Structure 1
Amino acid sequence: MIRKLTVLSLAILLTTGCATGLNSAQTTEYRSMEANGLAVQEKNPTTGALLGLLPGGGSFYAREPAFGVLNLLFWPLSVLWDPMSGYDGSMAINYQASKAHIRKSKLAEEKKLQRDFQDGLIDNATYARGMRDIEDKYTY
């Protein structure tokens, strides 16, 4: 019974992975953020992959403690998938942090432009042009 459970657990882990990486659209979007200097890097994907060689290290680094414990229990076999989990998890964290940073920056620029308009420092045409520029800058 224990042997069957272990084999089933291993099959699930090998086919599903532990951390969900970015899909192709998110990867393209993140690369565009990087190219425009708007990407945030909270976690280093290479570090996540290297820590995946240690028992559960990649998953713990990618803020997946439950998978970290599971990978710790299946070490050294988890070396087959945990480096990718650490890498993918780090990329997902960076993507989400970048999206939050962009939202916050966009909102701050819009508020400043609105204050300037309300204070009479800029006219209606300048305000409209500024809002379009902000939208263009932060849309991916």
Structure 2
Amino acid sequence: MCSSGAIIATTGCASGLNSYQKSELRHYEAAGLAVEEKDPALGTALGLLPGGGSFYGREYGLGVVNLLFWPLSILWDPVSGHSAAETINYHATKHHVGKLEDQEMDDLEGQLARNEIDLTQYTMQKRKVEAKYRYN
């Protein structure tokens, strides 16, 4: 929750990931598929500096507001920095996983087109690829 009406009016609140997205990101981390563009712990630490967490999390408008509200912004900017870093990592991971799945599917379709596998094998392999990259 934002601590100031000015923050809401100027930049909005960083909501971070919902519980499903957090669970999905943890799943991809456990599978070794996660991408970490930003370190959430560093985002938290930088949030102690004037606007640092928000700037680190690419929330530049919020960073300026937090800079103006420093030291009061110490109450929320570490959380914003952590949430923003986690959100950046989630979206980078989703993009990475999507590219990997597309590449495997393209390879599989190529095998089918070259008659290296039949339709039954293709269907079975397609299900395996989908299961590998899907979070359920």
Fold shared, TM-score > 0.5 on shorter chain: yes
Larger Rg, first or second structure (1 or 2): 1
* Between 121-130 and 109-118, the greater mean CA deviation after superposition: 121-130
**Residues 56-95 of structure 1, C-alpha deviations (whole Å, 9 max, x = no match):** 0000000000000000000111111000000000000011
- Unmatched segments (≥5 aa) in structure 2: none
The structure 1 residue matched to 2:4, chosen from 2, 5, 11, is 11
The structure 1 residue matched to 2:77, chosen from 79, 82, 87, is 82
Q: Distance in 1 between matches of 2:94 and 2:124?
A: 24
Q: Distance in 2 between matches of 1:29 and 1:10?
A: 29
Q: Distance in 2 between matches of 1:134 and 1:71?
A: 44
The answer on 1:108 being equivalent to 2:103 is yes
The structure 2 residue matched to 1:122, chosen from 83, 99, 117, is 117
**Residues 84-111 of structure 1, C-alpha deviations (whole Å, 9 max, x = no match):** 0000000000111111111111111000
Superposition RMSD in Å = 1.7
The answer on 1:59 being equivalent to 2:58 is no
Q: Distance in 2 between matches of 1:121 and 1:10?
A: 61
The alpha carbon displacement at 1:31 in A equals 0.7
